[in-house]
Amino acid sequence: MRKDSPDFREVAHAGGKITFNYIIDDEGRRKFSVRFEGSKPNTFRLWTLYALPQGIAVGSVTVGGVGVPWNPPPHPSCIPVMMPSDSEGYFGHQCPVCKKYWRSPGGWAQLPLSCAYCGYADEQHRFLTDAQQKFIESYCYVVLSGAEREQSSVTMDMDAVADACGKESEKPPFYYAEESQQSLLQCTACGSLSDILGVFGYCCVCATRNNFSHFLSVAEEVRARISSLKNYENCVRDIVSAFDSIAGDLLRELVRRIPMIKKRKEKFLRFRLHNLETVAKEVLECFGIDLLFGMPSKDVEDAKVFFHRRHLYEHKGGEVDEKYIQDSGDFSVRLKQVLRETVESSHRSVSLITTLMSNFNDGFHEIFPPLDEPVAYENERKRRLKQT
Ligand SMILES: [Zn+2]
Ligand SMILES: [Zn+2]
């Protein structure tokens, strides 16, 4: 599923008030408790992290529910920091490797987060944005200076932070906002949302790449056009073109992530996915992924013909030329004849290309497997939903 949203809006902080109450325990040690109060009628989430006193985040807190103790901090001096989301319930993330930015409602505290663009996986606090890091520094400073001044409590008013969004005026010390991106993706494997730049990316929670689900949505749209008796030739052209661009992105991702000699890399970066025979051969030889897996030979032959037809529809107005007959082996047509598709042939093209794409996706994720836990959790949720 993909919903388009207006690009690059500044999204305000969720607001609310964070209050620290300082207490002296029986042994005279100063401790504090922390409370968050939301005050605006918007969606918000809280992400609790452990930070060293100087404001360096070192881990996430696993909040297991009422009565369940938190996981112990990585160091005894750690301060638990509550970080509210933006007013849409999202947190910004910045990849420490590729430096790109995206938003999500957050990952699982006990599991690594994956970069939506390059797939790099690490603990969630390694993806903090500069603004979030500044927020954590200020937060720790307030907590520690309140304790030093022996105050009984300190309140951080985050509403002022939220209200400053989009205004030219000087920002409060804790100010941070997020920025909406271009495509709101819902992972079909684990159900998580990510707001990313561009169209293709990884689910940051389970690391499933969205190419196949994106292809399926194109296939659904093409099938709807076939059913409404629209131009069948364009439908065949479009589904093969979708494979070209969507499988092309997946191929470039393999080339980017798998070490290989420069010559091979360059060859793949120039590679065009116009001829199924060549594509299937190269992908099998170089990556061990069989695009034609499980396909009867008649299906393979028909799929190859659809690739050649796509070239005619795109560049020759659908008129048969010598090259088409030689390359496709389709001797049922004559030179200069305009090709015609039917409801059956165009639906068949969608089915065959979907199998190719599914095989490619399976092979890709055999090399780069998604995380099991979020996917299993989502499957269980769906199973329960069906029962009710
Ligand atoms: Zn990255
Ligand atoms: Zn996912």
- Would you list the DSSP string of 281-306? HHHHHHH---TTTT--HHHHHHHHHH
CA of 114 to the centre of ligand 1 (A): 8
Extended beta strands in the chain, E state: 2-4, 10-11, 17-24, 30-37, 46-52, 56-60, 79-84, 91-94, 101-104, 113-114, 121-122, 153-157, 178-179, 183-186, 193-196
CA of 168 to the centre of ligand 2 (A): 38
CA of 66 to the centre of ligand 2 (A): 27
Co-location of 131 and 216 in the same domain: no
CA of 173 to the centre of ligand 1 (A): 29
Co-location of 51 and 170 in the same domain: yes
Of 123, 156, 176, the domain-final residue: 176
Q: Which ligand is nearest to the CA of 194?
A: 2
Q: What is the mean pLDDT of residues 161-177?
A: 61
Co-location of 23 and 163 in the same domain: yes
| Percentages of the chain per state (helix, strand, coil), in multiples of 5 | 40, 20, 40
- Kindly state whether residue 194 falls inside one of the protein's structural domains: no
Q: Which domain range does residue 34 map to?
A: 11-176
Q: Please write the tens of the pLDDT for every residue from 64-121.
A: 766 778 888 889 888 888 888 888 889 999 999 999 999 999 888 889 999 999 999 9
Co-location of 172 and 296 in the same domain: no
On the question of pLDDT at 233 being above 80, the answer is yes
- Kindly state whether residue 183 falls inside one of the protein's structural domains: no
Identify the bridge partners of residue 21 per DSSP, sorted by sequence position. Answer: 33, 153
Co-location of 48 and 112 in the same domain: yes
Candidates 287, 240, 203; CA nearest to 2 is: 203
Q: Which ligand is nearest to the CA of 378?
A: 2
pLDDT value, residue 191: 94
Co-location of 142 and 288 in the same domain: no
Q: What is the residue type of 35?
A: R
- Kindly state whether residue 190 falls inside one of the protein's structural domains: no
pLDDT value, residue 175: 61
More confident residue, 249 or 45: 249
CA of 93 to the centre of ligand 1 (A): 10
CA of 187 to the centre of ligand 2 (A): 5
CA of 73 to the centre of ligand 1 (A): 27
Domain tally for the chain? 2
Q: Please write the tens of the pLDDT for every residue from 126-158.
A: 999 988 888 888 888 888 887 777 777 888 777
On the question of pLDDT at 371 being above 80, the answer is yes
Co-location of 244 and 314 in the same domain: yes
Co-location of 357 and 274 in the same domain: yes
Taking the C-alpha atoms of residue 182 and residue 202, their distance in angstroms, rounded to an integer, is 14
Reported as a pLDDT band with limits 50, 70 and 90, residue 169 is low
**pTM, full prediction:** 0.86
CA of 334 to the centre of ligand 1 (A): 51
Co-location of 222 and 127 in the same domain: no
- Kindly state whether residue 251 falls inside one of the protein's structural domains: yes
Co-location of 116 and 159 in the same domain: yes
On the question of pLDDT at 3 being above 50, the answer is no
- Kindly state whether residue 121 falls inside one of the protein's structural domains: yes
On the question of pLDDT at 125 being above 50, the answer is yes
On the question of pLDDT at 45 being above 60, the answer is yes
For ligand 2, a single-atom ion, which residues have Cβ within 5 Å?
187, 189-190, 192, 203, 205-206, 208
Q: Which ligand is nearest to the CA of 205?
A: 2
Reported as a pLDDT band with limits 50, 70 and 90, residue 1 is very low
On the question of pLDDT at 35 being above 70, the answer is yes
- Kindly state whether residue 376 falls inside one of the protein's structural domains: no
CA of 205 to the centre of ligand 2 (A): 5
Q: Which ligand is nearest to the CA of 186?
A: 2
- Kindly state whether residue 286 falls inside one of the protein's structural domains: yes
- Kindly state whether residue 123 falls inside one of the protein's structural domains: yes
Co-location of 22 and 151 in the same domain: yes
Q: Is the distance from CB of 111 to CB of 374 less than 8 angstroms?
A: yes
Co-location of 162 and 217 in the same domain: no
CA of 191 to the centre of ligand 2 (A): 6
CA of 385 to the centre of ligand 2 (A): 19
CA of 103 to the centre of ligand 2 (A): 14
CA of 284 to the centre of ligand 1 (A): 27
